[in-house]
Every structure is written in C-alpha cells, then in structure tokens.
A and B are shown apart, each in its own frame.
Chain A
Amino acid sequence: MNIIILAKLVPDLVEELTIDPSGVALDMAWLRLIINEFDDHAIEQGILLKERGGGQVTVIAPDVEGVDDLLFTAAAKGADRLIKITGDFAGGVNNHALARAFAAVVKELQPDLVLTGVQANNDLDGSVGPLLAGCLEMPYVGYVSGITLNDGKSKARKEYPGGLIAEMEVALPAVIGIQAAEQPPRYVAVSKVRQMMKTSAIEERAASELDPSGGAAISRMFQAEAGQRATMVTGNADEVAAKLVGIFKELGVL
C-alpha cells in the first residue's frame, strides 16, 4: 500500500495576527508557522494504516519555514520518504497553486491513497485535498475520522453534524480529507527527531510553476471587528459570581 500524505504549514493562532502594510495579507514578520493540525492527524492516520497493513508512507510539504522539522518529525513517527517541494512560496501561495504543485509529484509517485487534512485555518480558495483530487481526477471524500483498507478497496468513515457517520466505500486510488485520526497524534521525542535529521534525507522537487489561477483576489484583509460585544462582568471571584447569579435569576433559570 503506497500512501502519500500532503502537509502544509499554517499561521499559529497563539500569536497575535496582524495585517501587513499592503493591507491584503497577514504580516509574516511575527507569524509563526506550524503544521496544520488536520495534516498532523493525516500523518498519524497514515502511519496507523502502515502499522496495520504494511506499505510505504511518503510525506510531501512545501518548502517554507519549519518544513524540515515537520518532515523529520514525520520520519520519526514512521514515514519512509520525505519530499520537499521547492519554489517561490515566500509571498504565500493559494491552495490552487499548491495543489497543482503537489499534483505533479503525486502523479509521478502513483500512490494508492492520498491523505491530507480536510481544511486549514488559512484556506481561502477551497482546500488542498479536493483541489488535488480534481487535478488528478481521483475521487475525494472529506471529514473522515477513520479508514479501513481491504484488498485495494477502502472504507472511510465520514462525519456529519450531530455525530452521524456515513461509511463510504471509496475506490482506490483516492484522496481522503482527514478530520481526525483514529487516535491522537503520537508524541515524538526531540532526540528522535534530531536523530532523523542525521539519518534521513529530504528529497527536493522543484515546482515547475506555481499557478494560482482559480483563487480569489483579496482587496482587503482586516481583523474581525468586535461587533456586538458581550456585556462584561467585573470584580473578584465573589463579586462576579454574585452578578452572574443575578443574571441567572433575570433569565429565569434560578
């Protein structure tokens, strides 16, 4: 079973986000890039599938700050092959361009299954997974939280609101958008990652061109306005509690 996982790095929401002087993009100066949480789950799911049924896992990511650490960490978890796509990612690329860049490499590798996170926090023109599926004309199922593989066929558990699950049979090769892996992403000791840095190699593939057509043109980016802000209750714990009790009474629940 040849499994490919696509991962990208997205802004860390722990940091304060600001808009750069151009007014249409995030200020990269203070931005920390971290692995897209859903891609992290995709990596975990891929490793689990390999542990269960054998096969090879390849992880591909675009060459931005932090990509080496992302790939070596994946290797420490059990990924067999690491590929970095080089190109002009500095200004930020949209998902259409990224998907096309991925598609060129994925096509060459001829996988049975492609996993990627179902979404990312900076998606503005769709998500990489289904876009890639469109480029490669593969079927796509998203919001998946469990996969079983049997003789070249796959069953994906797709999540709907309210806790409802749909079991979809998906013919391979296919692209699956992961919402959550079957277990939380495992911990990898720093020393293991450092060891991977010495023993594993990251292959580089140059993106032939980064074609962003199909994406949206942003005329203005801004911080979400408070809008209608909550009435704030102040004081120490006792005072706040007392005021809340008063509110509960007003609302008729006490």
Chain B
Amino acid sequence: MPERIDYWGIPTTWGSPALYVYFFMALACILLAVRFYQRARLWWRVGRQEVRWDRLHVRLGRVIKYAIVQEKVLSQKYPGIMHLGLAWGFFMFFLGTALATINSHFIKILQGNTYLIYKFVLDTFTVFFLIGAAMAAYRRFIQRPRRLTLKPGFVWSLVLVVVIVLGGLLTESLRLAVERPEWAIWSPAGWLVAQAWIATGASDATLTNWHLGIWIFHLLTVGLMLATLPVGTLLHILTGPLNVFFSKLDRPPGRLAPIAETAKHEPIYASTLNGLTWKQLLDGDACTECGRCQDACPAFTAGTPLSPKQVILSIRDALRQDGSTLVGGNGQSSILVGKRIKDEILWSCTTCGACVRECPVLIEHVDAIVDMRRYLVIEGRMDLELQGALENLGRYGNSFGQSERMRARWTQPIQPPIKDARREPVEYLWFVGDYASYSPTLTDITIKTAEVFRKAGLDIGILYDAERNAGNDVRRVGEEGLFEMLAEKNAAALSKCTYQAIVTTDPHTYNTLKNEYPANGDERRPVLHYAELLDQLITAGKLKFSKKLGYKVTYHDPCYLGRYNGVYDAPRRIIQATGCELVEMPRHGDRSFCCGAGGGRIWMTEGEIQERPSESRIREAVKLDEVTTFVVACPKDVTMFRDAVKTTGNEQRLEVKDLIELVHAAL
C-alpha cells in the first residue's frame, strides 16, 4: 500500500533523525524569529502609531487575494507566471511538509490514494517551480529589464531556493531509484530523474548514501534559508503578506490621511523616520525591488529624479542604518527629507497613483510622498513658481492670480444666464473648477458644456464668485492648511445652497469633493463627474444624439477619474453613443499614463526632463493607425495634450478633444 515513510534511508545509528531535524529546524526558526523581530520592532518603535487592526476578515481576504493568489503579480504575464511558479511551489512544499509532520505524529493521512495525489501534486509543483526558476534566471541574466535591481543578493536567493527544491527532487528520485514502487509514476518528475540514477548502475547502498548526503544538504540549505530570510532578499515572503494584511482600509484611494497630531494637538511632520507611521516603515521592508512602480511612473519616464522604488528603498535603508540607534535613544533623528530623499525627488511626483496600482505588495508610495511634502511646505522649501501659485490660491482662491469676480466671466455670452445656485434651488450644482473658468483657451469647452447641459434639459446652477479651487492638488502638494481653508469656504458656500447632486467637469475637483469633503458623496447628495451624469441620461434615454460622428478615437483615462475612482466605463459608453469607434491605447484603464500635470506639477517649474509624460502619451496614441482624435475628460488634460501635440509635431495627425465636445457635436 502506498504510504509515506518518515525519514526513508536515514540511519538511526546516531539517534532518531527526527530529533536532529526538529532540533536543527528549531534553531533555524529561532534565528528567523529573532532576526525578524529585530527588523520588525523597528517599525513600531521608530514609526508613529496608526490603527490598522480593524476588519480582520477583509484583511485576511486581501492576503488571500494578493499574497497567495497574487493577482497583482499576475498583471504582467511573464514575471507573473514566473513568480507564481516559484511562490506557489513553495506554498505547496510548505504545506506538504506540514502534512508530512502531521502524518508522522498525529494522523496517518498520507496513505493510499491520498498519498498518491499528494505526491503527484508536489511533483507537479516541483516542475512548475523549476520552470519558474528557469524563467527567473533568463530574466535576471539575459533579459535584464531596467526596473530590476541586478545585485548579487537576488542571485543568491534564487540559487538557494533552486538548490533547496532540487535537493527535494533528488532525494525523492534517489529513494524511487532504490525502492522502485509500482506507484512511482505518481511522482513523474522524481521517477524521471530516478531513471538517470538507475542508468548509472550504482548499487542500492551507494544510492542510499547519496540520498543521505543530499538529504543532509537539503536540511542544511533549508535551515540556511530560514536563518537568513530576515536579512536577505527573501524577507518579502514575510513582509509582503504582512504589508497586504495591514494595507489601508479606512479610506478610499482618493482620500489622503490628515496630518497626524501629538497628544497635545501639535502636528507631526515626516521629515525623519519618526514622522512616518510604522506601516510606512513596513512598506520599506516589504518592497521586493521589482520596480513595477518605477516602470509605470510618469515622472521617472520623463527623466526626473523621482523613482517611487528608490523612495521606498531609501526609507528601508534609512531604517536599517539608523533604526537601532533611534530606538536606543541615541543620536538625533535621522533626517530623511533633504538628505536621503532630496527635495526635488519629492516635488517631481504627479500623485497619479500608478505606482500604488502596480505594487504587488500594496505599498502606498503616494501617501509617504505627500507626508514628506507636508514637511517641505511647512519649511517653505519649494520653487518660486509653486510658491506663487499657493499664494494666489490663498489670496484669490485660484492659481491664476485673478480676482474672484472674474471667475464667472465666461458665462457672459450665455443667454439665458445660468442659474445662480446661491440664490435659487437647483437640481445639479455644477462645480466648474479653476481651469475651466479662468483659462482663456478652455472657455469655449466650458461654454459647450453649459450648452450640452441645457440641451439635456438639466436644471443646473453654479456658485459664480463663491466658488474656490476645490483643493485637491493643494492637498497633494502638502499645503494642508490651505486645503482646509479652501474647503471651509467651499463647504460654507455649498451649505447655503439647495441641490440634489454636484456635477463637475474636472476629475481632480471630483475626487476631493467626493472623497475628502465632509458630508459629500453620500447617497443623498452624490458627486458626479459629467461623464457619469451624461451616461445616466443616455441610458435613461433622456439624452439623444442626432448624429453619428464616426470618428476613430482613443480615450485617455484621467488619473483621478479612472484609477482613483473607478470610472472607466461611463466615458466609453458615451463615446460609443456618439457613434465613434474607440481604439484603446496599450496603457488604458487603470494602467493609464498620467499627463504629468497632477500633484501640483502644473504649478511648478518643469525642470530638466527628457521627455514630457504628455508627449510620451501622444506618441503612444499616434501609433494607433487611423485614430484621429484623442479624447480626454479633464480640462488640464486638454491643456497638456494640446501642447504635447504641438511640441511632438503631430498637429496634422491628431486632434485633442474633450469628451463634452464629442457630445456637443453629436447632439
């Protein structure tokens, strides 16, 4: 009868092998635990408090989804399959060893068919693992993609795990070569390798000796792996799932955390490691250095000093080097901002969230960058242009430095005048936004928007002079106090109005009104982007088009509409309804490539860059044959991409249109 034999071929002359194994493994595990604790305690000793223990069931669900099934890793095919081979292989071997232990001491489950299935599964995963390892070797030595860290430490880890798995395969194959049971075929890989042993003609005794040698070696390498796990590149096996478990739940992606305060209500700024939360320090240790964030980052692609991967690793390195002295209370707090992480690195971020979307272990790069920016703002460390924009926002409520009274000047040619939401109740309060109101090149799109709303028969009003910049990017720049001031003014103006829902044309405005303003975005008074509203009207048959435009278009998902708020389909349905044919760019949906204006970048000096993100995006669009129109749903996108079309010399090839322009033309 097939059954698992404990310690096959291991002599008992020097005592029970189990004792040696358990003793040795205990030692290795103690080393693992101690070393891991040394790393982990730095997180909560150095970092500041944060509550992340709530809703355990949701967190566990995330661990299953991201750490076990590894959905995010699979978003890229080659490395996804590669890593799954390696990781699931190891999950299975771990499970297998656990089952073997239970089998040997508690219940004899591994016998009969169960045992055969057990062997088959393990063997399959061994093959799967080895394929993954081969793919990994190819990737690391031949392909050498830029986003990886090509350092020896990673090679050692790969070698170590391959050696371990081969050890397992070889010992199995040697046992099979000696025993040659009828059910050997249930371990296909092992049986295949066993043929080689058999072919050598070595005696059973020799084979058993080899088995012993490799088995001991296997034990030692496993011990080595466990003991070095907390200090090597395999640390992510523990910190990855931990990071997923503690990932943020309490707020939607589009909402930033407020500034932390001490017990005395004094603000805490993240200039040093102490200013970061323990979770942000864990982020550093969870990073696998895969570099997917870097690849997706528009600032990195443009050639700015920012690499989201390096920001996280800087935190990790700082903790490694200065962590213990900080805990011991010795020395000054390690200054992070300005030293390891230079000001310009932090200012280069557009807060597009592509890094967060890509990260397989759910690191929250944007939150850390914004936290550090808050420190820079308090210190007044920013370029003069940004300073000017913030001063204008503070004084005039818009970044253009124009009077509040000019905000509604664009409405002058409109007859009859748009309702004043301050004076009369309206169904939809249209929060227009700075760019749509003040930028002279965008005024005609704003007017078209008003016309579309009118033709759709909507009861719309605006705040006229009472509107202020909603503050989304002010917050992302790190000027929390200014954001509060703007939000207070807007909230006060809104509270005096009677409306059913807010509609806005700017995704940035949309994001903050929906996610960060109190008492908004709930069921009773939703915040809608115009794409959502028009989509609803089209579906309900209230908005009908008289023409089919027939353009071949591509659509750029705005970061704050798509990635941050999940609105992908509504704009696409609208495009379809206007009779246009949509061709997707490779980077679409939640992979959309930021135009480069967000995070306050549009208010800053551009600096030295190699290629603007917007230009890279236009080049991507131009590769789509026959696409003549580049459709966007954000006024800043219109500005950025129209400029990019000019600077890349594509004026004859591609026209940039806001979604509302298509709707307007098709009505």
Contacts and interface: CB of A to CB of B under 8 A. Distances in A.
Interface residues of B, number: 23
Contact of B482 (A14, A16, A32, A189): A189
Nearest to B401: A14
B603 to A, nearest CB: 12
B396 A14 contact: yes
A191 B378 contact: yes
A14 B259 CA distance: 33
Given A193-B481, A194-B481, A187 B387 contact: yes
Contacts of A153: none
Interface string B373-411: 000011010101001001100111000011101000000
B479 A15 contact: no
Given A184-B384, A187-B391, A14 B402 contact: yes
B403 A189 contact: no
Interface in B534-554: none
Nearest to B485: A190
Nearest to B390: A187
Interface string A182-200: 0010111111111000000
Nearest to A184: B384
A191 B480 contact: yes
B384 A191 contact: no
Nearest to B382: A187
B181 interface: no
Interface string B255-267: 0000100000001
B484 interface: yes
Interface string A88-114: 000000000000000000000000000
B481 A34 contact: no
Interface in A9-44: 14-16, 30, 32, 34
Contacts of A192: 378, 481
A192 B380 CA distance: 11
A14 B403 contact: yes
B371 to A, nearest CB: 14
Contact of A186 (B259, B380, B481, B485): B380
Given A14-B396, A34-B395, A184-B384, A190 B401 contact: no
Contacts of A193: 481
Contacts of A190: 394, 479, 481-482, 484-485
Given A34-B395, A184-B384, A194-B481, A189 B401 contact: no
A225 B481 CA distance: 42
A253 to B, nearest CB: 27
B481 A15 contact: no
A174 B164 CA distance: 82
A187 B395 contact: no
A202 B259 CA distance: 28
* Majority secondary structure of chain B interface residues (helix, strand, loop or mixed): helix
B406 to A, nearest CB: 9
Contacts of A184: 384, 387
A73 to B, nearest CB: 10
A189 B403 CA distance: 21
Contacts of B481: 189-194
A187 B482 CA distance: 12
Contacts of A187: 377, 380, 382, 387, 390-391
Contacts of A30: 405
A93 to B, nearest CB: 24
B153 to A, nearest CB: 41
B402 A189 contact: no
Candidate in A15, A30, A34, A189 with the most chain B CB atoms within 10 angstroms = A189
Given A187-B387, A191-B481, A15 B405 contact: yes
B377 A189 contact: yes
B210 to A, nearest CB: 71
Candidate in A188, A191, A194 with the most chain B CB atoms within 10 angstroms = A191
A30 B403 CA distance: 11
A177 B276 CA distance: 45
Nearest to A34: B395
Given A14-B401, A34-B395, A188 B479 contact: no
Interface in A113-161: none
A193 B391 CA distance: 13
B583 to A, nearest CB: 31
Nearest to B387: A187
Interface string A178-221: 00000010111111111000000000000000000000000000
Contacts of B267: 191
Contacts of B482: 189-190
Contact of A189 (B380, B384, B396, B405): B380
A193 B482 CA distance: 10
A16 B267 CA distance: 40
Nearest to A15: B403
Nearest to A77: B380
Nearest to B381: A187
A150 B402 CA distance: 43
Interface string B480-492: 1110110000000
Interface in B456-493: 479-482, 484-485
Contacts of A186: 380
A75 B482 CA distance: 18
A32 B392 CA distance: 14
Nearest to A191: B481
B391 to A, nearest CB: 7
A170 B481 CA distance: 42
A32 B267 CA distance: 32
A182 to B, nearest CB: 15
A130 B482 CA distance: 37
Given A14-B402, A15-B403, A188 B380 contact: yes
A184 B391 CA distance: 13
A189 B395 contact: no
Contacts of A194: 481
A181 B480 CA distance: 28
Contacts of B380: 186-189
A186 B378 CA distance: 11
Contacts of B485: 190
B287 to A, nearest CB: 31
B268 to A, nearest CB: 12
Contacts of B387: 184, 187
A102 to B, nearest CB: 25
13 contacts: A14-B401, A14-B403, A184-B387, A187-B391, A189-B479, A190-B479, A190-B481, A190-B485, A191-B259, A191-B267, A191-B484, A192-B481, A194-B481
Per CB-CB distance, the 3 closest pairs between chain A and chain B, nearest first, are: A191-B481, A190-B481, A187-B380
Given A188-B380, A189-B479, 12 more contacts: A15-B403, A15-B405, A30-B405, A186-B380, A187-B391, A189-B378, A189-B482, A190-B484, A190-B485, A191-B267, A191-B484, A194-B481
Interface of B: 259, 267, 377-378, 380, 382, 384, 387, 390-391, 394-396, 401-403, 405, 479-482, 484-485
